[in-house]
Amino acid sequence: MRYVPPTEADLKRLKDELGFTGEQMADLFGVAGGQQWRKYTGGATPREMSPHMLFFGAARLVLTDEQLASVVQRMRQAGAEVDLPRLDDKSPA
């Protein structure tokens, strides 16, 4: 697999396009909070976003609520305990 992560500028542009706060971006990509999100968009050496994190965030942006619920259900069948907050109102899927 070939993967080149988005740049710091790419991630900032996405945040602006979505009109999200740092906390919302953290929720989108599954990081602990806004402070963790900033590690991908700032500092002397920003972290590179892994392909699985980018896939997770992109999936949350393009899949329907029903499709996401199906994925979460499959995760539960695999043994996970997961409540995925919706991006719009923070209620779990």
Q: What is the pLDDT of residue 90?
A: 47
Measured CA to CA, the distance from residue 61 to residue 56 in angstroms comes to: 9
Query: pTM for this one?
Result: 0.86
Class of domain 8-77: mainly alpha
Q: What φ, ψ does residue 85 adopt, rounded to 5°?
A: -65, 140
Cβ neighbors of 27 (< 8 A, separation 6 or more) are 85, 87, 90
% of residues, the chain, pLDDT over 70: 95
51-62 and 22-29 helices cross at what angle (nearest 10)?
100
